[in-house]
Amino acid sequence: MEEFRKQYKEKHPNNKSVAIVGKASGDKWKSLSEAEKAPYVAKTEKRKKEYEKNMEAYNKKLAQGSNVSEDDESDKSKSEVNDEEEEEEGSEEEEDDD
């Protein structure tokens, strides 16, 4: 989906509908042969194993009674939180300019 979304967005820059992109990607996936799907399936299996390993470690920490701290958050979670804080700060600065 990540790769398809980028390609679709380049070809259709004015499209803002998630549903249309999802439907187009589903149609594209159905049209691929098993050989064409193989690299994506392998990548998915690798990510799934990594996820299961991370979840097992997380659940183990919870079972031990330790709190999951901010340090245990994924990098993605941290960046999303930081992005939101920066956006809020930026909107406050805009209000001060008026």
Q: 3-state secondary structure string, the chain? A: CHHHHHHHHHHCCCCCCHHHHHHHHHHHHHHCCHHHHHHHHHHHHHHHHHHHHHHHHHHHHHHCCCCCCHHHCCHHHHHHHHHHHHHHHHHHHHHHHC
The predicted structure's pLDDT at residue 9: 87
The predicted structure's pLDDT at residue 17: 87
DSSP tag of 14: T
pLDDT in tens, the chain (98 residues): 888 888 888 898 888 888 999 899 999 999 999 999 999 999 999 999 999 999 999 999 998 886 655 555 555 555 555 555 455 555 454 555 54
Q: Where are the domains of the chain?
A: 1-31
The predicted structure's pLDDT at residue 76: 57
The predicted structure's pLDDT at residue 50: 97
The predicted structure's pLDDT at residue 60: 92
Query: Rounded distance, CA 63 to CA 57, Å?
Result: 10
List pLDDT tens digits, range 47-73: 999 999 999 999 999 988 866 555 555
